Each structure stands twice: as C-alpha cells, then as structure tokens.
Amino acid sequence: MHAAPLCCCCGGCRRTRLYLSPFAQADKEILANLKDRKRLIKSGAIKHSYPFCWRSDTPLIYRAVPSWFVKVESIKERLLACNAQVGTPFPRPESS
C-alpha cells in the first residue's frame, strides 16, 4: 500500500481547481540549473485538448478516489443460491 495522498484537482461540484504540487517550484529551479550548465535542449509548455464524453459532449474528469472491492469468488456459491430464490419476470437462462 502506498502512503502518498490522493490529489484531487476538482471540487465536489465538478469545478476544477488549481492544484500546485509541492514540487511545482522545482521545475523552475531545474530548468535554471540545466540552462546555466548549458544542458537544456528545449523548454516549453504543451497545450492539449481536453477529453469529452462522446455521448453527452461534456468534459471528462479523471478523479482519483478511494475505493473498495468485494472478493466475490469466496461467496459465489451463496450468491447463486440466493439469486435462485429471487423471483424474476424474465426467464432464467438454461445452464450448460
């Protein structure tokens, strides 16, 4: 398990907010160091398009969130048994 905290660059209401990494200042210092030592080949910013949802044409926001998972394999037989007891208006597929 990693101890690094999650960085969220958007608020709960889907508004992006500026997040500056604790290392953001280091970029300027590294660039200055490379330039002083004549080791800098190229410096610049890359502008790229933001991804949009193909269905709703709204911006996609990738957000790291804590999550949990259920180990379904260990309870599979019990789940199937319980599902067999539940009534459904749809016909059950035949087992092969």
pLDDT, tens only, 4-36: 555 555 555 555 555 556 666 788 889 999 999
What is the predicted pLDDT for the residue at 54?
87
For residue 31, is it within any domain? no
Residue 13 in domain? yes
Does residue 22 belong to any structural domain of this protein?
no
Q: What are the backbone dihedrals phi and psi of residue 16, each rounded to the nearest 5 degrees, phi first? A: -70, 150
Structural domain total, the chain: 1
Please check whether residue 43 lies inside any domain of the structure. Answer: no
Instruction: Give the global pTM.
Output: 0.34
> 82 lies in a domain?
yes
Which domain does 69 fall in, by range?
9-17+49-86
Residue 73's pLDDT is what?
A: 93
